[in-house]
């Protein structure tokens, strides 16, 4: 009797493990960058700013523009750009990486970045 119960439990366990799972993992799949242009309001440090960016195919960089910051807020502009690019465009686990010195003109920060 004990042997038949043990065999039945083992068979039930094996049957449960052998059924195919609907969850699929693709650990080595290609990581794609979303290169579509985007315009988004960004909430940062209690205020809302405007982020616009386009992907420059020839340079392979994102041209990013952030409105609503002052001329002395370069660090904030960099933080907004890198985290936003990581969220909207970069593959999971990557952040934006600034590739040139940010510039401020006409109330707008301009930065060039890539995923990395």
**Residue pLDDT, tens place only, 82-96:** 999 999 999 988 999
Give how far the C-alpha of residue 30 lies from the chain's centroid of Cα atoms, to the nearest Å.
15
Tokens 């650990």, residue? Answer: 27
Contact 51, 106 (CB under 8 A): no
CA angle 106, 109, 46 (to 5 degrees): 110
Task: Name, in order, each residue with C-beta under 8 angstroms of 40's C-beta and a sequence gap of 6 or more.
Answer: 50, 51, 52, 84, 88
pLDDT at 104 > cutoff 90: yes
**Residue pLDDT, tens place only, 15-65:** 555 444 454 444 555 578 999 999 999 999 999 999 999 999 999 999 999
Which pLDDT score is estimated for 23?
45
Which pLDDT score is estimated for 24?
45
Q: What is the mean pLDDT of the chain?
A: 84
């Amino acid at each position: 009797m004990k042997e038949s119960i043990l065999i039945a439990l083992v068979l039930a366990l094996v049957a449960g493990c052998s059924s195919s799972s609907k969850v699929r993992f693709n650990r080595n799949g290609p990581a794609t960058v979303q290169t579509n242009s985007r315009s988004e309001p960004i909430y940062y440090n209690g205020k809302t700013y405007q982020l616009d960016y386009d992907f420059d195919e020839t340079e392979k960089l994102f041209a990013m523009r952030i409105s609503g910051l002052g001329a002395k807020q370069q660090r904030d502009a960099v933080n907004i750009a890198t985290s936003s690019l990581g969220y909207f465009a970069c593959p999971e686990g990557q952040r934006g990486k600034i590739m040139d010195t940010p510039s401020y003109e006409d109330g707008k920060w301009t930065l060039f970045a890539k995923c990395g």
